[in-house]
Structure 1
């Protein structure tokens, strides 16, 4: 009888311990309640949208999560690839301009179509929207 009561007591303790593991109380590491897993949104814009050789282009990635600006992204890089010319390929860090905006100003030396991709990493998320920029003579 004592053996059955002892076994029942141990089983009760195990059940209570496991129930505690499912609580959403504070803990070290990523807290899902803080919205870290909300989708990261990146609005990539080019100004101007079509450029001429030698003209400065502003490439901006506006990063938000849950409709709030993300001012401390882990990494924001702009990848530039000229279509049809694999020798023109670079990845450059964008500067944090505040209010969730990360900016790179770039001048293009030759005409053509360029794929502009922003690589944004924030926590466990990475997103990379792409736009095409046409540069003419």
Structure 2
């Protein structure tokens, strides 16, 4: 009789512990695809004192990301201190394209970081552009 009760208790504990297994491992635990950002300008050839459109196209796999939490451009001229960097939030236009209008005041080499937070991921690709 004692042995039978012990078997029932052990069986019950086994079933309880088996129910606590890691569901992600059972389902494969696939990681979501990485959020990627492609930077472009319009026009391609940038001249000082002319307005240019800076664009970040945000994708995850083949899907255009239209629900990014934040896309912000950080812009500075080569040789400037960090406190001289300009930051400007971009707005979603269409098809995963986030953009701002910007005017570069003088010719030179500039850097643009597209700070992007979307779908629990943050990426910040840096691009170098030439202003004539």
Could you tell me the TM-score, scaled by structure 2's length? Answer: 0.83
Q: Return 5+ residue gaps in structure 2 as ranges.
A: none
Q: CA deviation at 1:125?
A: 0.7
Aligned-partner Cα distance in 2 for 1:72–1:57: 24
Structure 2 equivalent of residue 99 of structure 1? 95
| Structure 2: distance between partners of 1:88 and 1:48 | 25
What is the distance in 2 between the residues matched to 1:68 and 1:56?
30
Distance in 1 (alpha carbons) for counterparts of 2:90 and 2:11: 60
Corresponding residue for residue 34 of structure 2: 39
1:130 aligns with 2:126: yes
CA distance in 1 between counterparts of 2:67 and 2:18 reads 39
Greater strand percent: which structure?
1
Shift of 1:3: 4.3
Give the TM-score taking structure 1 as reference length: 0.80
Matches within 5 A, 1:106-125: 106-125=102-121
Worse-matched range after superposition: 8-17 or 95-104:
8-17
Partner of residue 56 from structure 2, selected from 55, 61, 64 = 61
Looking at structure 2, the residues matched to 61 and 23 of structure 1 have their Cα atoms a distance apart, in angstroms, of 33
Give the paired residue count. Answer: 127
In the alignment, what sits opposite 1:16? 18
C-alpha RMSD of the superposition: 2.3
**1:65-97 Cα distance to aligned partner (Å, 9 max, x none):** 120111010100011011112253111100110
